[in-house]
Amino acid sequence: MTALKNDRFLRALLKQPVDVTPVWMMRQAGRYLPEYRASRARAGDFMSLCMNPEMACEVTLQPLERYPLDAAILFSDILTIPDAMGLGLYFEAGEGPRFRKRIETAADIAALSVPDPERDLGYVMEAVRTIRRELNGHVPLIGFSGSPWTLATYMIEGGSSKDFRRSKAMLYDNPEAMHALLSKLADSVTTYLNGQILAGAQAVQIFDTWGGNLSAAAYQTFSLAYMQRIVKGLIREHEGRKVPVILFTKNGGLWLESLAESGADALGLDWTCDIGEARRRVGDKVALQGNMDPTVLYAKPEAIRSEVGRILSSYGHGSGHVFNLGHGITPEVDPAHAGAFIEAVHELSAVYHR
């Protein structure tokens, strides 16, 4: 494989020295870019875009053609695993993801099989290979998956939910069934992420989008424990270098100490957590990724620059910080404001690495 021209993202995740703080954005390939909207219209719909490796590569690279980002992230969706399990993923306009079948009983769970990455999710693996080839060592490629708990909620609810009533009812009424589902999903995520690594992903992130909706006790048992199991099962070195693992639990700031003991290399933070305080709490155990409120990008460039400066100052000197938003960039953001954000991170962070 081609040597990396810019590896500061991987170095920061491993707390190695860098010249400036690396930056990428969750959902950096997305609807805020007019070129993405044009590609999606050409594909016909979101899933057709995801399942076409050449087009998935095209939209993955679009933000890197605009901005000096320090990493690319695979264009895909967290719900590819449940879809490969036969639940029938589709997207309803204005309503988000839906499944044609829901998980309701222990028998439904027993009938699920762990997808084979190359056979059942080959379009994702081919997209990873295509993107790596087209990146040609420009920046590293991030692979990803949803967490077992997050995937389970969609599978049980049949789509998005405000209160997760079916998922939490199963968790408390029938914990054995929930553990059976989460165990199968943990195996699936491990296999899926290892497939991405073997195909060329140079770091991986687990998105625990809905872990923060659990109680403290339930989070430890039904979310974190399964992410720890995944981390233990991942390929941690490939192509002669370490493959860093990032865990991101939205609204997980209460549990940073536990997350820091997970075996992951880095923790993603949402914007509700002060990054300086988070650094004090986790010490040298993990790097930190984040954590500007995405809605700051609606403000003027001067205000964006000021907030970037505040977050950099809060983290302080030294490596171990990957700058990112606290969640995904939103569709209405002016692309010029995203550019101002990325420029500010690189310009203002150099002083913290001397």
327 belongs to an annotated ligand binding site: yes
Does the active-site annotation cover 116?
no
Does the active-site annotation cover 77?
yes
132 belongs to an annotated ligand binding site: no
Residue in 31, 66, 102, 236 annotated catalytic: 31
Residue in 8, 11, 27, 132 annotated catalytic: 27
Q: Which of 266, 343, 351 is nearest to 316 (CA)?
A: 351
Residue in 77, 120, 208, 265 annotated catalytic: 77
Alpha-carbon dihedral 243, 7, 71, 2, rounded to 10 degrees? -80
221 belongs to an annotated ligand binding site: no
Helix (H, G, I), strand (E, B) or coil at 205: strand
User: Torsions phi, psi of 284, nearest 5?
Assistant: -95, 10
Radius of gyration over every alpha carbon of the chain, rounded to an integer in angstroms: 19
27 belongs to an annotated ligand binding site: yes
Is 56:185 a contact under the CB 8 Å cutoff? no
Q: Please list the helix, strand and coil fractions of the chain in percent, rounded to the nearest 5, in that order.
A: 55, 15, 35
31 belongs to an annotated ligand binding site: yes
Cα within 13 Å of Cα(324), Cβ side: 29
Does the active-site annotation cover 31?
yes
Structure tokens at 105: 């009983």
Residue for token pair 């960039």:
329
Is 246:13 a contact under the CB 8 Å cutoff? yes
Tell me how far apart the alpha carbons of residues 167 and 116 are, in angstroms, rounded to a whole number.
26
User: What ranges in 158-260 are assigned the alpha helix state H?
Assistant: 165-173, 175-199, 216-219, 225-233, 256-260
Does the active-site annotation cover 305?
no
Residue in 40, 102, 166, 236 annotated catalytic: 40
Could you list the beta-strand ranges (E) of 8-140. Answer: 72-73, 89-92, 96-99
Residue in 32, 67, 154, 226 annotated catalytic: 154
H or E element in which residue 266 lies: strand 266-268
User: Torsions phi, psi of 177, nearest 5?
Assistant: -65, -45
30 belongs to an annotated ligand binding site: yes
Is 57:128 a contact under the CB 8 Å cutoff? no
Does the active-site annotation cover 226?
no
Question: b/e string for 68-80 if b means 16 or more Cβ within 10 A?
Answer: ebbbbbbbbbbbb
Catalytically active residues, by annotation:
27, 31, 40, 77, 154
Binding residue ranges for substrate:
27-31, 77, 154, 209, 327
